[in-house]
Amino acid sequence: MSACKDQDPRIHGIKTKIRVVPNFPKPGIMFQDITTLLLDPKAFKDTIDLFVERYKGKNISVVAGIEARGFIFGPPIALAIGAKFVPLRKPRKLPGKVISEEYILEYGRDCLEMHVGAVEPGDRALVVDDLIATGGTLCAAMNLLERVGAEVVECACVIELPELKGRDRLNGKPLYILVEYH
């Protein structure tokens, strides 16, 4: 599912505020920089509003934001829909007991962690990040939440890079995005 296919007039304004940085962080990568979106209060608000409009009234009890840019979009969505926000962090960033999920990237391995007890069995979760590329990070986030008994309702990203086929790795889990970059 994609808001860009719905032709909401706010989508164009959001898309024009995302800067593409060639060859960052390494040659051949076209980095999708959302920091320029954050500099425009209207475009940033429109981004949050589109997600809130989609998830309000869907009985979502947890918004899980993936480090780091999921921490920008997740909390305002959680507050607006009356859900708790749970940060999914890189290793050794959370104090106390954590549960971990290791995953494979195109260039190595990584890991996400969350506090034990932050998510309860039966919680209805929304996973939020800025971008889906290959889908590995979203899959790890879903696995982490499902291991503790949560139901992942949907994943939400501002940007999708469809050529990398990350959506295909989500095993049929719904993905809502605002902008596609080809």
Give the pLDDT score at 21: 97
Average pLDDT for 121-130: 98
Predicted pLDDT at 34 = 98
Average pLDDT, integer, range 144-148:
98
- The least confident of 3-12, 37-46, 119-128 is 3-12
Query: Mean pLDDT in the chain?
Result: 95
Q: For residue 157, what are the β-bridge partners?
A: 129, 177
Supply the pLDDT for residue 106: 67
Beta bridge partners of 108: 105
pLDDT cut 90: percent of the chain above it: 90
pLDDT (tens digit per residue) in 10-59: 999 999 999 999 999 889 889 999 999 999 999 999 999 999 999 999 99
Is residue 106 flagged as an active site residue? yes
Q: How does DSSP assign 25-88, residue by residue?
A: SSTT-EEEETHHHHT-HHHHHHHHHHHHHHHTTS---EEEEETTTHHHHHHHHHHHHT-EEEEE
Per annotation, catalytic residue among 19, 102, 106, 120: 106
pLDDT interval class at 6 (50, 70, 90):
low
**If you average pLDDT over residues 132-161, what whole number do you get?**
97
Catalytic: which of 54, 67, 69, 92?
69
The C-alpha atoms of residue 117 and residue 108 are separated, in whole angstroms, by: 29
Of 153, 130, 167, 148, nearest in space to 59 by CA: 153
The predicted structure's pLDDT at residue 108: 79
pTM of structure: 0.95
